[in-house]
Structure 1
Amino acid sequence: MSPNFTLLDQLYTQERLLNSGYTRTTMRRKLRTKELISVLQGVYIAASVWDSFTPSLQVLARHTALALRDSTCVFCLSSAAFLYGLPLLHVPQNLHVLAGYSVRGAASDGILEHTSNEASVQVTVLRPNFRVTELSQTLLDCARTLPVLEGCALVDAALHRRMLAPEEILPRLQASQNSAATHIATHADARSSSLLESVARLQLVEMGLPAPVHRLDFEAYLLGTSDAHAPNRASDYAGVYRMLRTRQASFVWLEQRVGLAMVASDAALPHADVPTPAGWHMVQVRWEDFYPSSRVLREKLHPYFPQLG
């Protein structure tokens, strides 16, 4: 079952609580003793359930609560991107909605209303009950308002997942007369398969390194072998790294000791069963294995990915 449908079962409007046998006195007592938590004004959840949620699921619960309470609201900006399932550096702590769609509440509830620059707004309905701005509009709005790295990563992800075609978004970004959006239009790359790869690629290009041309999915290649045949995954990665350093291929970035490998063709590697390169990929290894001397890159990426160490 989708997490959204589970959330709908866990959220209670005041009307639903009263219909299930609660009295207003009981509701006030449970709120006072913190057995019930107010997710938003007029929408409640059991404290034990709320405490079991991850931070991301708590954010989803707040969005679900608003959609449940105000069925005509339209989510926009990072809220819409979050509901589309696109990767964000930080989940939205506020609820971003379009103004003029009958939303109750205030900034104290974390609800921020935004006026659209568009003459007409196209709305997409996502399951189970989310009304959001149309995807290309969401990406354009995020490109205008979010940091460039994050806005570009959103466009990368939408293109990579084939949620829309390049011609549906890149011309809109280019024509927006917004410097961040036009920058993203020229730097978006559908080959990027994760937020980490998008941010790393953009930081490396900003440092003066060339944009990658080919991709070899080392992660799929290595992890395609069962654990019984590859008991020491770390040594496998180390072996691939040693192999790459000795091959005559386009390892410009490996020479810089950063973990992005450009491979001219599958003939560059001695294994005939290695998949044909298509795009590019961040080699998934321990940070210290690949980045010991790339202090500048490490410092640039650490604010976004502190878990890398």
Structure 2
Amino acid sequence: MKKILLAVTAALAITSCSQNEEFEAPSQKAEINFNTAVTRATELNTNGLQKAGFEIYAYNTGTSGMTADVVLPAEAWISNSAKYTEGTGWSVDGGPYYWPLTDKLQFFAYSPKDGAAYTAPNASDKGYPKFVYTVGTTAANQKDLVIASVQDATKNQNGATSPVSFAFKHALTQVNIEVTKVDGYTYDISKVEVAGIKGSGTFTYTGANTGTWVAGTDPDATYTYTLGDFTGNTTTVISDNALMLIPQELTNAKISISYTVKKGNSEIAENNKEVALSGTTTIWDFGKKIRYKLTLPIGGEKVGISADVDPWDSEATETPTVSE
């Protein structure tokens, strides 16, 4: 079963003595410690975050605040994994780390580590760091990627003991599907696929807890979706069946579905339908949850489709109809 990492708050007290910076007397060093809290326990429990951990990068920009014109140093102040130990709590590999006296630190984090390839700054390119992320090939091994960043943190600002607080946000698009059948008939659905999708992309931080995606150029991928059972005439949506996919423009995206229809013991129709997704939501945005609702006819009629779009803290609804 996949580990779903949703809105997480991680509190972090960090510093580093690996660079040639001036520090206070050893007795006054402010060490970076960690705390975590889960804000949506229905989708992520504390054990899930503790097992996954998160990746943390920090860069010393001296007196400069973080902007798209800042050149980050090639040597990171912190570049490692945050891990949880029962009875001890959170720590960062390679620590302890300490605050510089007055310089500003820029923090960037994400979880999970698997599937991500971080691009370290090279001390010449301007702007924020980035990473390439590839989603799993099946819903069972797709995880909910979350990101967080804190800009311009200083010891004076955070104090000797107060942590740096990370508010992780969803960085992928979650896709679910439900179908509605005609009353009085039995439907046997053998295949539901979402096709024409890019399976990887580059995420670039653009500010505090924000970023942008550029979908990869790899060949289009196809993902199988597992419907829930019918309750009445509509299938239920099971959270663990959700697809966690790269935000992208829907150019060739479609849902393919195969099903037979019976009346009593007699099979009366066998259907293979395709529904283009570009007529509902043309772009899968960062941190959105989308539920596609298909209305399946008995025979050769068009499939009805609508889409509910939920930013994971509010909800909007679209109700267009698209040809098969």
Greater fraction helix: 1
Same fold (TM over 0.5): no
Greater fraction strand: 2
Task: Give me the TM-score of the superposition, normalised by structure 1.
Answer: 0.26
